[in-house]
Amino acid sequence: MFQGLTSYLDSIRARDPAPHSRWEILLYPGVWALFMHRIAHWLYEAKLYLLARMVNHFSRFLTAIDIHPGATIGRNLFIDHGFTVIGETAEIGDNVTIYQCVTLGGTNPTNGKKGKRHPTIADNVIIGSGAQIIGPITVGARARVGANAVVTDDVPEGATMIGLKARSTLVPAEDWLKEFIPYGTPCDEPCEPSRDCVAKLEDDIAALRAEIAELRAVTGDTPPTKRSGTDR
């Protein structure tokens, strides 16, 4: 048991450079929320629903993280900071990282009956802050969901999802492969094809400016000056 706890704390430390020791990580609200969820989930599976909900409510009061007792969670889940909601039929794999203000929400069944309503999150997924993942969809292994993205469709394995409604950056997994990306949002990396278009436009503008300067040099024209607000 102690070895398992040590391994869990080390997995968080590998993803978060802030703590100076394992003892510090023990004070993280995400760690306490997961610990109490394990208890609530055990009670839920034993059909002690009221007791499970009581543990859930106490955990939410203490940590500001609301994990329904019915949610299934794998190993080494790291919820950073909190203010996260995880629904009843959500399934989370191993080594998943969730940042603050994330919702794994469900759709309302039209027939009024319970069923699979919440997302399935595969192993090694990173979900950025403010992301909303809604419905009985699957987020593939090693996928990254950027901050504030709204995801309502299945996410391919290794994809990076951005925007509202979220779209894939279409970067092949073999070209973009890193063990961990904070907040699931690549920065200053060639992660989005549109950057190539922007670079090409900037080159075209620079070339046009050079041509205009050459023409002015030939014709002797001077560039127009901006009039100040006091000119009449």
Give me the mean pLDDT over the 37-46 stretch: 98
**Percentage of the chain exceeding pLDDT 70:** 80
Whether the CB-CB separation of 154 and 143 falls below 8 Å is answered with: no
pLDDT tens string 90-131: 999 999 999 999 999 998 766 666 789 999 999 999 999 999
Confidence (pLDDT) at 164: 82
Confidence (pLDDT) at 61: 96
The CA distance from 135 to 25, in Å, is 32
Please tell me which residue, 83 or 228, carries the higher pLDDT value. 83
Whether the CB-CB separation of 145 and 157 falls below 8 Å is answered with: no
pLDDT tens string 150-185: 999 999 999 999 888 877 766 555 555 556 667 666
The CA distance from 76 to 146, in Å, is 20
Cα-to-chain-centroid distance, residue 173: 17
Please tell me which residue, 58 or 200, carries the higher pLDDT value. 58
Give me the mean pLDDT over the 24-40 stretch: 96
Residue with tokens 């075209």: 204
pLDDT above 60: residue 229: no
Cα distances from 102 to residues 89, 93, 149, 167, 211, in angstroms, run 16, 16, 10, 18, 50
Confidence (pLDDT) at 183: 66
Confidence (pLDDT) at 110: 63
Tokens of 185: 């949002």
pLDDT above 70: residue 74: yes
pLDDT above 60: residue 192: no
Confidence (pLDDT) at 232: 45
pLDDT above 70: residue 80: yes
pLDDT above 80: residue 6: yes
